[in-house]
Amino acid sequence: MTTSPGPAQRTILVTGGTGTLGRELVARFARSRDASVVVLARGSAHRRPAVLPHGVRVLVSDVRHGSMLGLSETDRAMLRDSVTDIVHCAADTTFNRPLADARATNVTGTEAVLAFAKDCPRLQRLACFSTVYVAGRATGCFTEQDVGGADGFVNSYEQSKAEMEAVVRDAMGELPIAIYRLSTIIGDARSGEVSGFNAIHHALRLLYQGLAPMVPGRESGLVDLIPVDFAADASRYLIEREFIAGATYHLCAGAAKSATLGALLDATMAAFERYRPAWRKRSIARPAIVELETYELFVRSVEEAGNQVLLQATRAVQAFAYQLAYPKVFDARRADGVLAPAGISAPNVLDYYDRIVRWCIETNWGTPA
């Protein structure tokens, strides 16, 4: 079923509108003349998030607070009567959160959004953001039709998102929902700006500090990364122009635009040297790429030794690096088939990766030097 926006005023409700992707989407939606944008964001009612454009209404909310979403009766009623689009970006993207905590936001929180959506009489579209890593420990080609999880998961984030998808699919009979599975977002391809530092940026920092001796995986294994501007452009287009209820899309780099783990490590080291020439003097070696068994032995040794610094470092790398031990390629045929004619495609990661690393170095990973 394809639906197109009507001429009447639309109200787009964005959950997680201050997050890495959410804020980019809000900025794009806010440029639409026929739409008003309401953002649900956690935080103080008295402090408007600086990242949001003028004209966007912000309501303090928390999807973990049931179908009321932590809203007042008045606000909830206002939204219920006006909302035409729900863009559900709110998520706990921390990889190593206890599963119960991850579920609280990603599963229970989504159930609350779905319950609210069922009350909205004007609702035309519900866009639900997920991750391509619902594939979990699967290897090989993972398609937009695949459900994932049969081989288990690497971390609680993946599992909670897969469980979220199950909840969403169950609701597809009652609601016009599409799922958008994102690859790992690493920053803005044009400026290199990183608005949300995640596990991969933390791993880069450890590498910079010389505290990452090895990563699991294969030299030739592909690492799928996307820039936030592509993620926002692509998902906005799919939501506003080509919404298909019941569809699942992969927003990823795919095999053609991804880089191998070896090439990414080389590019990382080269960027460190280029943007911090003094770093070269520290003689930090490129981390070894090892089998998972060897990596786990190293992690176990660090744990047994009780070395707190290396323990924190290995845990930080562990959170995402285990996924590298399960090489896979994401097939995005359905998304590409819609996006390519519109001229939207993911850039080759090595064409902009250097700018991301530079941003990390120059901002000291978002913390004052």
Partner 1 sequence: MTRVGIDALTYYLPASAPTLAELEQRGALRGPASTLAGFGFDRARVAESESHVDMAMRAVRALLDETNTSSDEIDLLLYAGALTSSSTMECAPAPAGAVLQMRDLMDFFKYPVSQLQSELDLANASVAGIDQQGCAAIFSGVRLARATLLAEPDVRTVLCVSADRLPHGTPREVVYNLVSDGACAMLVRRGAARNRIVAMHQVTKGAFWDAGSLENEIIAAYFPTARTVIEDTLRKAGVTLNDIRWVIPHNVSLRSWEILLGLIGCPREKLFSANIARVGHTIAADNFINLRDATDAGLLHPGDLLLLFTFGYGLNWSCMVLEH
Applying CB under 8 A, the residues found at the interface with partner 1 are 209-214, 281-288, 290-291, 293-294, 297-298, 301, 304-307, 309-310, 313
Are 367 and 278 within 8 A, CB to CB?
no
Nearest approach, Cβ of residue 203 and partner 1 (Å): 13
Nearest approach, Cβ of residue 282 and partner 1 (Å): 5
- Which residues have a Cβ under 8 Å from the Cβ of 202 and sit 6 or more positions away? 316, 317, 365
Nearest approach, Cβ of residue 299 and partner 1 (Å): 10
Q: What is the sign of the dihedral through the CA atoms of 229, 188, 288 and 212?
A: negative
Nearest approach, Cβ of residue 260 and partner 1 (Å): 17
Residue 86's alpha-carbon distances to 70, 178, 218, 220, 249, in angstroms, are 16, 11, 40, 40, 17
Q: Which is nearer to partner 1, 81 or 303 (CB)?
A: 303
Q: Which is nearer to partner 1, 73 or 304 (CB)?
A: 304
Q: Which is nearer to partner 1, 107 or 299 (CB)?
A: 299
Nearest approach, Cβ of residue 311 and partner 1 (Å): 10
Nearest approach, Cβ of residue 300 and partner 1 (Å): 9
Residue type, 94: T
Nearest approach, Cβ of residue 354 and partner 1 (Å): 22
Output 270-276 pairs: Cβ under 8 A, ≥24 positions apart. Answer: 270/354, 271/353, 271/354, 271/357, 271/358, 271/361, 272/207, 272/208, 272/357, 272/361, 274/354, 274/358, 275/357, 275/358, 275/361, 275/362, 276/361
Whole-number Å distance between alpha carbons of 344 and 336: 8
Nearest approach, Cβ of residue 133 and partner 1 (Å): 26
Q: Which is nearer to partner 1, 90 or 207 (CB)?
A: 207
Q: Which is nearer to partner 1, 164 or 265 (CB)?
A: 265
List the structure tokens of 193: 């700006």
Q: Which is nearer to partner 1, 170 or 219 (CB)?
A: 219
Q: Which is nearer to partner 1, 44 or 308 (CB)?
A: 308
Smallest CA-to-CA distance from 245 within 128, 133, 338, 91 is with: 128
Whole-number Å distance between alpha carbons of 162 and 147: 8
Are 52 and 26 within 8 A, CB to CB?
yes
List the structure tokens of 117: 């959506």
Q: Phi and psi dihedrals of 223, rounded to 5?
A: -115, 120
Q: Which is nearer to partner 1, 46 or 281 (CB)?
A: 281
Q: Which is nearer to partner 1, 113 or 310 (CB)?
A: 310
Are 205 and 232 within 8 A, CB to CB?
no
Nearest approach, Cβ of residue 273 and partner 1 (Å): 14
